[in-house]
């Protein structure tokens, strides 16, 4: 989990998260907002397989996207679903004003989601 109060570009945040967790990652799936060739190269240097769709400006970009393993890339949809459920059930906004408290509030939302999910099973 990562949150920031700055308006940094997704690609730079993606590298920061990947670098922090590089020892535990085998692949990293991300949407087209993370389309940055340097990010892909840095991930490969850390032996992390980038599953990042290309923004489609040229025919070669379509070809690159067609080669992505859809079964692995589809795992990204599971995370998006969880984010959507959390926003719908617990709200999409945080009320805290400092970064630490915002982060803590988001973590608690995730914990509540996990508890609710465990109780249903």
Lowest mean pLDDT among 9-13, 56-60, 98-102: 9-13
Residue 3 has pLDDT above 70, yes or no: no
The predicted model scores a pTM of 0.70
Q: How confident is the model at residue 33 (pLDDT cuts 50, 70, 90)?
A: confident
Question: What average pLDDT does the segment 60-79 reach?
Answer: 90
CA distance linking residue 109 with residue 76, whole number of Å: 20
CB of 51 closer than 8 Å to CB of 21? no
Residues 6+ apart with CB under 8 A from 113: 82, 85, 86, 89, 90
Window from 8-17, 43-52, 56-65, 71-80 with minimum mean pLDDT: 8-17
Helical H segments across the chain, by residue range: 10-20, 37-45, 59-66, 70-73, 75-90, 99-120
């Amino acid at each position: 989990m990562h949150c920031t109060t700055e308006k940094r570009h997704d690609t730079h945040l993606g590298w920061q998260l990947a670098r922090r967790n590089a020892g535990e990652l085998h692949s990293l799936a991300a949407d087209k907002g993370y389309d940055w060739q340097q990010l892909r190269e840095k991930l490969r240097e850390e032996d992390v397989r980038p599953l990042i769709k290309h923004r489609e400006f040229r025919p070669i970009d379509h070809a690159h996207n067609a080669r992505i393993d859809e079964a692995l890339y589809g795992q990204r949809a599971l995370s998006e679903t969880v984010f959507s459920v959390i926003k719908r059930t617990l709200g999409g906004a945080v009320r805290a004003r400092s970064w630490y408290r915002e982060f803590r509030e988001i973590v608690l939302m995730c914990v509540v989601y996990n508890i609710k999910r465990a109780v249903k099973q």
